[in-house]
Amino acid sequence: MPLTETTKTQIREALGAIREALPGFRNRPSQRRMIAEIAKTLAGEYGDSRIIACEAGTGTGKSLSYLLGAIPVAQALGKQVVISTATVALQEQLLNRDLPALATHSGLKFSFALGKGRRRYACNLNLARLAGETSPQESLFDEPVAAWKHAPQASELAAVKAMRQAQREETWNGDLDAWPEALSNDFIQTVTTDRHGCLGNVCPHIRHCSFSGHEITYATARSSSPITTWSSPTSAWAAVSYSRPSKTRCSYSTRPII
């Protein structure tokens, strides 16, 4: 279906408001075309596939383009937008800068929530085993658990113990992106798990599971938030494809191409 005049006007007015509010805003015809093409594609003006690929250089306003092209269309259709980022850095840019600025200056009324993959959270069972902790409950399970795949460095042992202490003191929720020190990829793979390795409800640490707590918070926010960002350390696109709300609530996903 073609874009309605109401949606077109909403996009034009939002872009105009941003132009007036942000000093140094550059009026780019290519950006306006990107906004228009994304809006028309997601509205179904070019058919039912609703797929578009756009490419532009760094700092040319891609984030604003796909946000302005997608949000008014989603609101008109009663849908949610899922934005998948390839890196945590871009996710933080959207959450901390682009989306708040758009909400403040565009006149569009929307909210947004953050969804993150399981590998962005430490597994409490893995941390406990790596720290040398044991419990009678854990001895009941035969499933493989975390073990150092190499002789751990002193800094790695210290990090594991510090994480466990922070969890006990409730000063850290298991979010690896919020840990104050840099973590190597090998260390992250060791202290996390995937859906195949997770013991689920039979895990002795399920009541304090970092990822389960995040899922509950995310699901609650998602129920009223049309804008959702999701970052995965491996394949953010796969995470969105398999984790979006439903076909009736989310009609498309947007992935910036850099």
pLDDT surpassing 60 at residue 202 = yes
For 39, the token pair is 């809006």
Separation of alpha carbons 224 and 226, rounded Å: 7
Q: Is the pLDDT of residue 256 over 50?
A: no
Phi first, then psi: what are they for 83, rounded to 5°?
-110, 120
pLDDT at position 58 is: 82
The pTM score is 0.70
- Local structure of 230: helix, strand or coil: strand
Q: Which helix (H) or strand (E) holds 214?
A: helix 210-222
The conformation of residue 138, written as its DSSP 8-state character, comes to G
* Angular region, 12: left φ>0, alpha ψ -120 to 50, beta rest: alpha
CA–CA dist 166, 173 (Å, integer): 8
3-state secondary structure 190-208: HHCCCCCCCCHHHCCCHHH
Task: Show the tokens assigned to 185.
Answer: 């990829």
Place of tokens 């800094």: 155
Q: Is the pLDDT of residue 114 over 70?
A: yes
Residue 181, number of CB atoms within 10 A of its CB? 8
Model confidence at 89, pLDDT cuts 50, 70, 90, reads: confident
124 neighbors 205 (Cβ within 8 angstroms) = yes
Do the beta carbons of residue 222 and residue 228 sit within 8 Å? Answer: yes
Rounded-to-integer distance, Cα 113 and Cα 83, Å: 11
User: Could you report the per-residue pLDDT of 131-149, keeping only the tens digit for each?
Assistant: 888 655 555 554 444 578 7
**Other CB atoms within 10 Å distance of the CB of residue 186:** 11
The predicted structure's pLDDT at residue 143? 46
Quick one: pLDDT at residue 7?
96
For the stretch 211-228, pLDDT in tens is 886 555 555 556 656 666
